[in-house]
Structure formats: structure tokens, C-alpha cells
Amino acid sequence: MPAKSKPTRRSACPLNVSLEILGDRWSLLIIRDLMIRGFRTYKEFLGSDEGIATNILADRLQKLEACGIISLQPDPTDRRKVNYRLTKKGIDLAPVLTELVLWATRYEDTGAPPALIRKMQKNRKQFLAEVRQRWRNGGSSPIIPGGRDRSE
């Protein structure tokens, strides 16, 4: 097999490049679960409110790993489990997620946890620093102050 050449880009515009990697309805939700909720496993992702299908989840995890946004490691205590983690490249998407969240809360009806939003708005820089700090510590507890998003 002659090593399939990766499909050529539509254009070299940086926004286009980002969209070819992240421009779908699911990838950033998986990244959210890793970044904010402290999820680590396939099963946890499946449990998110949006209800991703198993085949789509498997496909996205594969693509995200292929482009270096997440990494896999076997669970030391249960060999059935795979632990997914954000790489540096992955955690560096925090500003993108933040801006998308702030935009939505400004213009749409959302069930955003008010404590989290206040934190983001009040001091964006510090919030991002906290996200990164927690990532360095390998934190797997959700960053959401008041716990889980209970709305709907």
C-alpha cells in the first residue's frame, strides 16, 4: 500500500485550516469534556447530554489523535480502559472554546453555569491560566464551580 497522501487542503488560510480540523458539530464538544469536565474515557464522552453516536465518537477520537490534539494511554488499573488526554496543542484551544462560550451566552439562550461565565468574563486571562494549571496537574475533576450543568 503506497501510504495514502493526506487529502490536500482547500486553502492555506489559517481559519480554513482550523475549520478543516475542528469544523464539525462534535470535535469541540469532546475537547470541552476533556478540558472542562475532566472526562477521560470513551464511556464518559458517550454520556454527555448531546448524545454522540458510538461510531462518530470513535471516528472523532481517531482524528483528534491523528492531528495531535489528544493522546491515548492505557489505564493502569483496568486494561479495558483507554485514557484520553489533551496534549499541549489541545489545551491551547482553551481560548477558542472560551470565546465561543462567551459569544453564545451573550446572544443565545443557554444553560451556562453562571459561576463559570462570570469567571470567564471577569478575568479571562486568569481563567485560562487556571485551565492550563489544572491540565498540568493532570486534573480530572470538573472545572465548573457549581458542579454539573443541571439545566434541562
Partner DNA sequence: ACAAATAACTTGCTAAATGCAAGTGATATT
Partner DNA sequence: AATATCACTTGCATTTAGCAAGTTATTTGT
> Directed axis angle between helix 27-35 and helix 54-66, to 10°?
80
Report how far residue 40's alpha carbon sits from residue 140's, in angstroms, rounded to the nearest whole number.
7
On the 0-12 / 13-18 / 19+ scale of CB atoms within 10 A, 86 is: buried
Identify which of residues 61 and 97 has a Cβ nearer to a copy of itself in the complex.
97
Contact range with a copy of itself by CB under 8 A, out of 58-66, 74-82, 91-99, 133-141: 91-99
Retrieve residue 48's grid coordinates: 454527555
Retrieve residue 57's grid coordinates: 465518537
| Residue 19 binds which of DNA, a copy of itself, none (CB < 5-8 A, kind-dependent) | a copy of itself
Residue ranges in 11-70 that form contacts with a copy of itself under rule CB under 8 A: 11-26, 28-29, 32, 48-51, 68
Retrieve residue 33's grid coordinates: 469534556
Report how far residue 3's alpha carbon sits from residue 147's, in angstroms, rounded to the nearest whole number.
46
Identify which of residues 61 and 116 has a Cβ nearer to a copy of itself in the complex.
116
Residue ranges in 9-68 that form contacts with DNA under rule CB under 7 A: 24-26, 41-44, 51-56, 58-59, 61
Residue 141, SS3? coil
Contact range with DNA by CB under 7 A, out of 75-83, 85-93, 105-113, 131-139: 75-83
The reply to whether 4 sits near DNA by the rule CB under 7 A is: no
Report how far residue 72's alpha carbon sits from residue 93's, in angstroms, rounded to the nearest whole number.
18
Contact range with a copy of itself by CB under 8 A, out of 39-47, 57-65, 72-80, 106-114: 106-114
Interface contacts to a copy of itself, rule CB under 8 A: 10-26, 28-29, 32, 48-51, 68, 89, 92-93, 95-112, 117, 149, 151-152
